[in-house]
């Protein structure tokens, strides 16, 4: 008698529950096409995570903690782990990088393995990973830049904040950026934390930066910088700035600088403070204080002696990057003057028809990162630049999940990514428990992938290899009086990983 598909599914779920109840002492064997209970342990769930940044490590952490039989392998394109914690966090924010300690514990877990120098979608396909693992989690972040979409944005002197941050943080692909800082005025488009990071790096005294892990190449370039004024532009008003109070306070207190706001930008803001939620109220109060209040004598003297300045400019949207006389590089920005409709965080900018030109030789666009498709087999929404998903389950792709920015878009801080990644891990665990993921079939995991990579001449970098790179960077940093001196060349990373002591899995 044939069972219906519904009854077959119920039988399968009951079998899985029986296997779990017996704590791994019971398994399934197949003989002459018939599956039977056996004393062979049930196959352990093998999960692959693509991306060695915060989303990948937090997803792995939750899986390993929640289920004692799960095996997790993390694949990362670069030879080094930690993603935006290493390459995105500002060098003068070392406390934010403390999460690396937690990620290291995860990577050193007996049921976790890190495989660097493996480019998924190129060295191995997602479909091949799906054949080797019970589940695949895509956590590869947002590697693309959102373009302004205006004439002149490809002129010399125009950079994305993503590339500029990668340059001073040692991201290998950005080491040849060579930004020209010979102008007096820089404009940053965007008013989020990344925009303020860039402004702070441009204006910080070298004595402060020399004690951080900023690259020596960036230090040398900044030492020759002639930038004395940074304007941080936003299309909306003071009540909609996207930075945190911590970042704003650092700008207000940055040695050797003074704020130069336009008082008219803050008309009516003081009256609106009472109705604001507490976090927004505190942020706006600090902004108003920096812009409007007459400082005390000590602060007045500090500002008088400051050789550099910064300011927010509001209700401005880029229309065109104006070229120099020889048409080779940026010489200014043409901006649309906006007005707001609506109120609070939901207010939107509407152009007034008025135009304003600002002279500047450096334009940095900090309007957001975006994720890119990784593999033709993976669904991708190009308009939202995310993988379409429901609670982390990739739509119409059984056994495929996503977490982090590629799941929800490039928003939030590291804590946001942590919570999001934990949510995806919980979704995956539910599917393991319910039988939605087939655990009756044993998977070979990294063994199968290792064979494919060997055939293709790809040599992974394991976490013990990364520790050699880490030690070398710290050693070089100590010689310069800084926490580390990052290796910026992939070939040099590989050389250090493979020539200093044995490599172990």
CATH classification of the domain holding 283: 3.50.50.60
Q: What is the pLDDT of residue 413?
A: 87
55 and 194: one domain?
A: no
| Residue of 5, 123, 107, 104 whose CA lies nearest to 49 | 107
With cut-offs at 50, 70 and 90, classify the pLDDT of residue 412. confident
Q: What is the mean pLDDT of residues 189-214?
A: 97
Domain end point (choices 306, 339, 370): 370
Q: How far is residue 367 from each of residues 190, 233, 336, measured CA to CA in Å?
A: 5, 10, 16
445 in any annotated domain: yes
For residue 465, being part of any structural domain is answered with: no
The pLDDT of residue 37 is above 80? no
What CATH number does residue 422 fall under? 3.40.50.720
Please determine, for residue 100, whether its predicted confidence score (pLDDT) is greater than 80: yes
Number of domains present in the structure of the chain: 3
Residues spanned by the domain of 301: 146-370
Domain contains 433: yes
Q: What is the mean pLDDT of residues 411-425?
A: 94
Burial of 129 (0-12, 13-18, 19+ CB in 10 A): buried
* Angle of CA points 221, 223, 228, to nearest 5°: 100
pLDDT > 90: what percent of the chain? 85
Q: Distance between the two ends of the chain, CA-based, in angstroms?
A: 49
Report in angstroms the alpha-carbon separations of 323 from 106, 148, 393, 474: 50, 16, 47, 43
- Give strand pairing partners of 338: 351
pLDDT at 343: 84
Please check whether residue 495 lies inside any domain of the structure: no
In this structure, is residue 405 part of a structural domain?
Answer: yes
| 232 and 289 within one domain | yes
| Residue 409 shares a structural domain with residue 366 | no
345 shares a domain with 313: yes
Q: Is residue 299 part of a domain?
A: yes
Question: Of 335, 370, 405, which residue constitutes the final position of a domain?
Answer: 370
454-488 per-position pLDDT tens digit: 999 999 999 999 999 999 999 999 999 999 999 99
Question: Mean pLDDT across the chain, nearest whole number?
Answer: 91
Radius of gyration for the chain, computed over Cα atoms and rounded to the nearest angstrom: 26
- 10 Cβ contact list (under 8 Å, min separation 6): none
Backbone phi, psi, residue 341, to 5°: -120, 145
Q: Do 202 and 252 belong together in one domain?
A: yes
Residue 152, in any domain of the structure: yes
Do residue 125 and residue 231 come from a single domain?
no
Q: What is the pLDDT of residues 117-131, one digit of tens each?
A: 999 999 999 999 999
Domain-located, residue 489: no
Please state the pTM of the whole predicted model: 0.89
Under the banding of pLDDT at 50, 70 and 90, the label for residue 22 is very low
pLDDT at 499: 83
Same domain, 228 and 353: yes
Q: In whole angstroms, give the CA distance from residue 432 to residue 68.
A: 13
| Whether 385 and 298 share a structural domain | no
Instruction: Examine the domain organization and report whether 124 and 172 are in the same domain.
Output: no
The pLDDT of residue 41: 62
- Whether residue 136 is found in the same domain as residue 150: no
Q: Above 80 in pLDDT, residue 295? A: yes
Same domain, 182 and 298: yes
Dihedral angle sign, alpha carbons of residues 495, 90, 308, 333:
positive
Residue where a domain terminates, one of 337, 370, 403: 370
- The answer to whether 373 and 380 are in contact (CB under 8 A) is yes
| 437 in Cβ contact with 444 (< 8 Å) | no
Of 431, 377, 372, 371, give the one whose Cα is nearest residue 129. 377
In the three-class reduction of DSSP (H, G, I as helix; E, B as strand; rest coil), residue 1 is classed as: coil
100 and 191 housed in the same domain: no
């Amino acid at each position: 008698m044939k069972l219906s598909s519904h009854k077959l599914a119920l039988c399968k779920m009951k079998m899985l529950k029986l296997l779990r109840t017996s704590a791994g002492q019971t398994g399934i064997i197949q003989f002459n096409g018939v599956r039977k209970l056996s004393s062979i342990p049930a196959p352990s769930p093998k999960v692959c995570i693509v991306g060695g940044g915060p989303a990948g490590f937090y997803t792995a952490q939750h899986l390993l903690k929640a289920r004692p039989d799960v095996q997790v392998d993390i694949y990362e394109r670069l030879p080094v782990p930690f993603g935006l914690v290493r390459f995105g966090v500002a060098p003068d924010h070392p406390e934010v990088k403390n999460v690396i300690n937690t990620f290291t514990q995860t990577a050193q877990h007996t049921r976790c393995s890190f495989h660097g120098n493996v480019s998924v979608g190129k060295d191995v396909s997602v479909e091949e990973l799906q054949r080797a693992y019970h589940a695949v989690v895509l956590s590869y972040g947002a590697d693309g830049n959102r373009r302004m979409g205006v004439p002149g944005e490809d002129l010399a002197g125009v950079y994305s904040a993503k590339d500029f941050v990668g340059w001073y943080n040692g991201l290998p692909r950005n080491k040849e950026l060579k930004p020209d800082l010979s102008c007096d005025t820089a404009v940053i488009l965007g008013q989020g934390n990344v925009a303020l990071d860039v402004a702070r790096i441009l204006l910080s005294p070298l004595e402060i930066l020399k004690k951080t892990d900023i690259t020596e190449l960036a230090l040398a370039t900044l030492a020759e910088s002639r930038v004395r004024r940074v304007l941080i532009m936003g299309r909306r008003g003071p009540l909609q700035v996207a930075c945190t109070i911590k970042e704003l306070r650092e700008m207000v207190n940055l040695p050797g600088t003074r704020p130069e706001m336009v008082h008219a930008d803050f008309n009516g803001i003081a009256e609106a403070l009472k109705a604001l939620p507490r976090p927004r109220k505190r942020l706006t109060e600090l902004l108003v204080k920096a812009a409007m209040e007459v400082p005390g004598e000590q602060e007045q003297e500090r500002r008088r002696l400051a050789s550099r300045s910064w300011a927010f400019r509001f209700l401005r949207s880029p229309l065109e990057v104006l070229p120099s006389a020889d048409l080779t590089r940026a010489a200014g920005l043409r901006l649309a003057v906006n007005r707001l409709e609506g109120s609070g965080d939901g207010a939107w900018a509407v152009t007034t028809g008025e135009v304003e030109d600002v002279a500047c030789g450096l334009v940095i666009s900090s309007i957001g990162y975006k994720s890119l498709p990784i593999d033709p087999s993976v669904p991708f929404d190009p308009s939202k630049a995310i993988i379409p998903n429901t609670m982390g389950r990739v739509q119409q792709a059984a056994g495929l999940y996503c977490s982090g920015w590629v799941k929800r878009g490039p928003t939030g801080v590291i804590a946001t990514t942590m919570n999001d990644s934990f949510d995806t891990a919980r979704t995956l665990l539910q599917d393991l428990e319910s039988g939605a993921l087939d655990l009756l079939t044993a998977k070979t995991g990294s063994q199968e992938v290792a064979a494919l990579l060997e055939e293709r001449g790809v040599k992974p970098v394991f976490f013990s290899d990364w520790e050699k790179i880490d030690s070398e960077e710290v050693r070089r940093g100590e010689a310069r009086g800084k926490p580390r001196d990052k290796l910026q060349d992939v070939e040099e990373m590989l050389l250090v990983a493979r020539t200093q002591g044995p490599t172990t899995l």
